Amino acid sequence: MKLTQKILNYFRKDKESPASNYSLNFINTPAITGTMNAYKSFAYACINARAENISKAKYYLYKETAETGIREIKKHKILELLNKPNVRQQTFKEILFKCAISLDLYGDAFVYIRRDKNGTPLDLYHLPTKTVRIKLNSDSTEIEQYEYSFSGGKINYPAKDIIHFLIPDPDNNFGGKATIEGFNMSLEIDYLQNRYQRNFYKNDASPAMAIEFEKNMSDIEFNRFKEKFRSLYEGVNNTGKTIFLDNGAKIKPMQSYPKDVEILQSRTWIRDEIMSIFRVPKIILGVTSDVNRANASQQLATFNENVIKPFAKLTIESKLNSFIARNFPGEDLFINMEYEFENDREMQLKAYEIYMKYGILTKDELRELEGYQPIKKNKNGN
């Protein structure tokens, strides 16, 4: 091998060992395999933004009967359980946050129900998705158990003791389909671009020059030169040092690669594609290009109403209501998760002013919207 080619191969090779469990085709493998490698960079920001907003849910318990219709229940064992899920001091918001992240990454999330001796639910514990395996019955017609693995061994929980949240998968009646499975190459490109930039700054992975010698070197001589050169000139701390060579060695400048120039534009495109698949608006991630006060407010409202709320009702609220129906039969109870968007107060007051001006709402109707009692009138109606 020519010396020039040896040096080029050394500098161009990927020096970082592969991340554990990472696979460039993890999108095409079962969702759990290597998925935590997707929980980085733009995807990390989007997944966390969705989870943070889902955890903001306000939950209300209702009872529906033919005689009284629907009425809110203020005190019940279910509310006590949600207000204090377990002895670990975890809040229900924290459990929602973890479940939302698990759903985006794995398509499934699991919560264990600990019961008292009478079978009444006592506590709720989130189980990491990677530690749980679904086990079907002998006919493969329904889930019989959930196998939970931990450092001390394994436990098989009966299906009734697990709340199984999932994103419905058209090809699987028992497991969910992760949001990240909707990607083609975007997450992998984002991962590789980050590695490329890291190597570029750490080791100058695209060499700006090659070193030529007048005669071939033995492997021992080459390795000795390579180690010495690395110690003196490689890495960010050695950038800009003057290079001294002997034995007739010459430096040959190398042409820069076009990808170095195009990578910023490419990363912007990748960022926008990742955000669109997670359906997270720019303003949520602090990206302010093409964003102003008016459309920022609209983006936030749309994200809340058309992304967070439907996702939570489909994947979480429906399963909580199944849990309530199974564990509190005959009580006709159901839970409703609400996501109240905080309106721009200044715009809201301007809207009230228009409503009054054109007779859309009366003073008393506006007072009711703000939580005030109607204005008392005297005998003359004033």
Using alpha carbons only, give the angle 142, 110, 43 rounded to the nearest 5 degrees.
120
pLDDT at site 23: 34
Instruction: Among 25-29, 135-139, 182-186, 210-214, name the most confident range.
Output: 135-139
Per the prediction, the chain carries an average pLDDT of: 79
pLDDT at site 380: 59
- 216-220, 223-227, 251-255: segment of lowest average pLDDT: 251-255
| Percent share of the chain, pLDDT over 70 | 73
Model pTM? 0.68
- 100-109, 129-138, 177-186, 239-248: segment of lowest average pLDDT: 239-248
Q: For residue 136, what are the contacts with CB-CB under 8 A and spacing of at least 6?
A: 142, 143, 144, 174
pLDDT at site 29: 34
Beta bridge partners of 252: 210
Residue type at 125 in one-letter notation: Y
Q: For residue 149, what are the contacts with CB-CB under 8 A and spacing of at least 6?
A: 131, 132, 133
Tokens of 220: 């021992």
Cα distance between residue 270 and residue 42, in whole Å: 9
User: HEC string of 53-91?
Assistant: HHCCCEEEEEEEECCCEEEEECCCHHHHHHHCCCCCCCC
- 289 has a pLDDT exceeding 70: yes
